[in-house]
Structures are given as structure tokens and as C-alpha cells.
Amino acid sequence: MPQPYEWATLRVVPRVERGEFVNVAVLVYSRPLQFLGLRVTDDLERARALHPGLDVAAVRRHLQRVAQLCDGDPGAGENAARSAGERFRWLVAPRSTVVQPSPVHTGLTDDPDGALADLYARMVA
């Protein structure tokens, strides 16, 4: 039986004042299915096209830290010890940095890995 899940994209907003962005990752969280997953693109060329001066190395470091936190890696700091739901909420909290989350959306699935792959294909790739 399909279970509820929540998802959001992570966006690179090279110049916050312009509001232009490129989706670079998808987060999926399902409490009933005990799932928190992330898929990130390596291709930041579209983001660089919006702002040639974008610090791509800094964006990659930020996305790597997001992946560590999503996985609960102790190297990500104290928040990594939190529950999957708390980590998801931390990752999708609004912020005004170069990497920003979209609003959170919902769906139903019995295959959260499949939902993550589908969302990545539709929203990022």
C-alpha cells in the first residue's frame, strides 16, 4: 500500500537578488517507510551560465555537506545524530544562501527509491 512522502529540490541561486535558480538535487523523506534519500547532480554548468563568477567549488562543498547530513554522517556535525525527520526539516528550512530548498511537496509511494529517481529525472536531470 502506498505511503506518504515529502520531497523538495535544492536549488543553486547564484545571485540571490535576481531570484534565478537551477535545481541541483532532490530530497525525499518518508516517515512510514523509514526513508531519507538525496540525489545530487554533478553538472553545475547551467548554474554557472546564470553567473559565470559562481564559486562552483564552494557549491560542491555545500552539497557534499548536505549529503553527509542526509546520511547521518557524524562528520556533518551535531545535527547528523538527529532523526531522519529532523534532518529533513533542517535541510528544507528556508534560507537565503546560494543553495536553497524549494517548498516541500507531498506524494504517495511504496517505492521511495523509485520516487527519488523519478523526481530527479523530472526536476533536475
Task: At 88, list the grid cell.
Answer: 529533513
pTM higher than 0.75, yes or no?
Answer: yes
Task: At 67, list the grid cell.
Answer: 549529503
Least Cα distance to 8 among 114, 92, 112, 94 occurs for: 92
Q: What is the pLDDT of residues 27-78, one digit of tens each?
A: 999 999 999 999 999 999 999 999 999 999 999 999 999 999 999 999 999 9
Least Cα distance to 64 among 75, 53, 79 occurs for: 75
Q: Note the pLDDT of residue 86.
A: 97
H-state helical runs in the chain: 45-50, 56-71, 84-91, 112-123
Query: Does residue 95 carry a pLDDT above 90?
Result: no
pLDDT-derived band at 96, boundaries 50, 70, 90: confident
For residue 44, CA distances in Å to 18, 39, 60, 80, 119 come to 18, 14, 9, 26, 18
- Mean pLDDT, rounded, of the chain: 96
Query: Does residue 17 carry a pLDDT above 90?
Result: no
Q: Radius of gyration over alpha carbons of the chain, in Å?
A: 14
Q: Note the pLDDT of residue 19.
A: 87
Higher pLDDT, 97 or 8: 8
